Amino acid sequence: MNTMDPDTMEPHGLTQRISGEKSSMTQKAVQDYYPDDIAVCYGCGKSNKHGYQIKTYWEGEETVCRFQPQAYHTAFPGYVYGGLIASLIDCHATATAASAKYHEEGKSLGIGTVERFITAALHVDYLAPTPIDVPLELRGRVKESKGRKMVISVTLSAEGKETARGEVVALKMPEDFLSKQK
C-alpha cells in the first residue's frame, strides 16, 4: 500500500525521479493549472466535488497518475469496471496532451493557465482484470504531436502488472468551442 507524503498529500515517491524541464510541472498537478471556470470535469476537475479529481504529474518524459478505486467501482467482485479505466485513461491523456503542448510551445507553467484538450477518439485494450483493492498507476506518453492534435498512449498497471492500455487522440480546444455550442 502507498503511504502519503504529509506535505503534498500525494503518495511518497511521486515527485522523485523527476528530471528535465518538465519538472516545474510536478509541484502542482497539471489539472491545477486548468482555468477555474472550466475545471468541472467529473474525471479530473478540481471543482467537481462528486468526481474522481484525478491528478497528473510529470516524471521525466512520462506523466503519472495514481488512483485508488472505491469498492463500488467494480465490474465483478474484486475487479475494477472498465468504464472507470476508460475514464482515467481519457482524463490522464488529455492532461498529458495539454501540458506537453504547453511545454512544446515554450511556455512556463504558473504563468497563465493550461489550455484544455478535448478527446476526439479513445481506444482501450483490456489486457487482464484489474484488481480493485490496490492503487492503480497510469503512465502517459506523447506518441504524436501535430498542430492542434496530440496522440497520447497510456498504460494502466496494478501492483506492477499492466492490465490495460489506451490511446487517445486529443485536440486543442478552439477558443470559441464552448460558445459555438450554444
Q: Contact residues for a second copy (CB under 8 A)?
A: 37-38, 40-43, 45, 48-51, 70, 72-79, 81-84, 86-88, 90-91, 116, 118-126, 129, 178, 181
CB of 1 to a second copy, least distance (A): 20
Specify the residue for cell string 482484470.
129
Q: How far apart are CA 101 and CA 106, in angstroms?
A: 9
Indicate the residue among 22 and 34 with the shorter CB distance to a second copy.
34
Indicate the residue among 91 and 100 with the shorter CB distance to a second copy.
91
Q: Residues of 35-55 as b/e, b for ≥16 C-beta within 10 angstroms?
A: eeeebebebbbbeeeebbbbb
CB of 34 to a second copy, least distance (A): 11
CB of 10 to a second copy, least distance (A): 22
CB of 16 to a second copy, least distance (A): 29
Q: How far apart are CA 9 and CA 170, in angstroms?
A: 29
Those residues whose C-beta lies under 8 Å from the C-beta of residue 139, and which sit 6 or more positions away, are 62, 63, 64, 154, 155, 157
Indicate the residue among 4 and 121 with the shorter CB distance to a second copy.
121
